[in-house]
């Protein structure tokens, strides 16, 4: 078997040894506990962000499992700043972008924008297919827009994921919503993938074109105007957003909320829309406004980026499970896949 196992008695701190095997951190979050015993895994993710403030307890867990599971040989060390910096440099995180599939208005050829229209049967299938393609890529957090077609795409895709962690949608709309959605088991939290919904990832708002079909719009506004709104970078339809305006709020959200997660080594999936994802890709790939206008994202086909050393490395689309291909985009991802294979057989 490929993985090396550290046989250290529990409680021993081995900070320097850990860094040589930074690849694993990527499945297991911050804690540098690595358990590669065949068929058994203890998940320790220390999340400094977000709602799960259970760091101290997680160490308790590690020690507890060490004492009664002789199969597990944990390597642990107390977290401190210097290790964080070193970790940052060698850490790597996966970023998956998925554009939702066919919606009921796509099928009718109506301008949708921010109207909350659900998926068609075909859109449902596309989401499931997308899920199969990413079933071996680690996901620690999910971000979606506030629209059901993106949320459903994410949830449908995750039913195919091999890791079997459970996405949990976070609710922040009121004090009661927060209280009512609390989870009271640490084990369960560890097996959860937080899902954050954000309007900033919504599709570009199409103003007075929302709900119109192409004929109606051409009749009402004239063919050229419509073409301009659809294809320019900075000309918005009446009461709507230009691609530029959409990019502003989508990329700002990405930088403020998502990039820090990637920096801390979390693997993130974003399920959103054509224009909000193009905007983000414009930022990731440093495209010009001319280039982004010509960028078309396939629906339901996930795109993978590796975030490493502060840079986004484009890795195209993960192959479906039945397709031959160089699966492993990075060594860490190859090891992750292998662990899944071991776990499930």
Phi-psi category of residue 109: left, alpha or beta, with phi > 0 → left and psi -120 to 50 → alpha: left
Residue 176 binds another protein (CB under 8 A): yes
The answer to whether 76 touches 10, Cβ cutoff 8 Å, is: yes
R_g (Cα) of the chain, nearest Å = 22
Residue 181 binds another protein (CB under 8 A): yes
Residue 212 binds another protein (CB under 8 A): yes
Residue 21 or residue 200: which is nearer to another protein going by CB? 200
Give me the residues paired with residue 213 across strands.
110
5, 13, 64, 177: residue in contact with another protein (rule CB under 8 A) = 177
20, 80, 173, 175: residue in contact with another protein (rule CB under 8 A) = 173
Q: What is the DSSP letter of 110?
A: B
> Is 203 marked within a binding site?
yes
Residue 281 binds another protein (CB under 8 A): no
Query: Shortest approach of another protein to residue 185 CB, angstroms?
Result: 4
133, 189, 273, 339: residue in contact with another protein (rule CB under 8 A) = 189
Angstrom distance (rounded) from CA 315 to CA 94: 10
- Which helix (H) or strand (E) covers residue 268, if one does? strand 268-272
> Is 204 marked within a binding site?
yes
What are phi and psi for residue 103, nearest 5 degrees?
-105, 165
- Which helix (H) or strand (E) covers residue 153, if one does? helix 148-158
* Count of residues engaged in binding another protein, rule: CB under 8 A: 51
Q: Which residues contact 77 (CB under 8 A, 6 or more apart)?
A: 13, 14, 15, 18, 32, 83
Residue 130 binds another protein (CB under 8 A): no
> Is 113 marked within a binding site?
yes
Residue 136 binds another protein (CB under 8 A): no
Degrees (nearest 5) of the Cα angle 243, 249, 255? 120
Which positions from 27 through 66 interact with another protein, judged by CB under 8 A? Answer: none
Which residue's structure tokens are 């000309």?
Answer: 235
Query: Shortest approach of another protein to residue 170 CB, angstroms?
Result: 8
Q: Which is nearest to 225 in space by CA: 213, 210, 237, 241?
A: 237
Residue 108 binds another protein (CB under 8 A): yes
> Is 229 marked within a binding site?
no
69, 77, 84, 104: residue in contact with another protein (rule CB under 8 A) = 104
> Could you list the active site residues?
100, 203
Residue 275 binds another protein (CB under 8 A): no
Choices 30-38, 78-86, 147-155, 316-324 (CB under 8 A): range interacting with another protein = 147-155
Angstrom distance (rounded) from CA 23 to CA 81: 20
| Helix boundaries (H) for 232-273 | 243-253, 259-263
Query: Shortest approach of another protein to residue 114 CB, angstroms?
Result: 4
Q: How many CA atoms lie within 13 A of 182 on its CB side?
A: 8
Distances, alpha carbon 14 to alpha carbons 34, 66, 79, 80, 85, in Å? 12, 16, 11, 13, 16
55, 86, 148, 328: residue in contact with another protein (rule CB under 8 A) = 148
What are phi and psi for residue 61, nearest 5 degrees?
-60, -45
> Is 26 marked within a binding site?
no
Query: Shortest approach of another protein to residue 118 CB, angstroms?
Result: 4
Residue 115 binds another protein (CB under 8 A): yes
Sequence ranges of the binding site: 99-106, 112-113, 149, 203-206, 214, 230-231, 274-275
- Residues forming contacts to another protein in the complex (CB under 8 A) are 104-105, 108, 110, 113-121, 124, 146-148, 151-152, 155-156, 158-159, 166-171, 173, 176-177, 180-185, 188-189, 195, 199, 202, 205, 208-213, 216
Instruction: Summarize the annotated binding site for substrate as residue ranges.
Output: 99-106, 112-113, 149, 203-206, 214, 230-231, 274-275
């Amino acid at each position: 078997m490929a993985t090396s196992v550290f046989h250290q008695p529990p409680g021993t701190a081995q900070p320097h040894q850990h860094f040589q095997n930074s690849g694993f951190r990527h499945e297991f979050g911050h804690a540098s506990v690595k358990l590669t015993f065949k068929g058994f895994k203890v998940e320790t993710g220390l999340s400094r962000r977000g709602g799960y403030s259970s760091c101290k307890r997680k160490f308790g867990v590690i020690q507890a499992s060490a004492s009664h599971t002789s199969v597990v040989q944990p390597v642990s060390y107390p977290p401190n700043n210097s290790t964080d910096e070193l970790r940052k440099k060698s850490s790597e995180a996966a970023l998956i972008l998925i554009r939702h599939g066919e919606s009921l208005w796509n099928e009718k050829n109506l301008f949708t924008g921010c109207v909350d229209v659900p998926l068609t049967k075909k859109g449902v299938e596309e989401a499931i297919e997308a899920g199969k393609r990413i079933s071996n890529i680690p996901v620690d957090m999910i971000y979606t827009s506030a629209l059901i077609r993106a949320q459903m795409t994410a949830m449908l895709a995750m039913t195919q994921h091999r890791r079997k962690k459970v996405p949990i949608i976070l609710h922040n709309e009121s004090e009661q919503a927060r209280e009512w959605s609390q989870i009271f088991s640490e084990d369960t939290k560890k097996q959860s993938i937080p899902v954050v919904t954000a309007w900033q990832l919504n599709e570009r708002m199409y103003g007075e074109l929302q709900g119109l079909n192409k004929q109606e719009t051409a009749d009402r506004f004239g063919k050229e105007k419509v073409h301009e709104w659809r294809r320019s970078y900075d000309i918005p339809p009446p009461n709507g957003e230009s691609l530029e305006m959409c990019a502003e709020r989508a990329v700002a959200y990405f930088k403020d909320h998502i990039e820090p997660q990637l920096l801390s080594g979390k693997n993130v999936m974003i399920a959103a829309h054509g224009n909000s994802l193009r905007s983000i890709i414009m930022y990731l790939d440093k495209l010009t406004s001319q280039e982004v206008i010509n960028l078309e994202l396939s629906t339901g086909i996930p795109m993978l980026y590796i975030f490493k050393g502060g840079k986004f490395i484009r890795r195209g689309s993960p192959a479906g499970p039945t397709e031959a291909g160089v699966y492993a985009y990075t060594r860490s991802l190859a090891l992750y896949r292998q662990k899944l294979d071991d776990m499930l057989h």
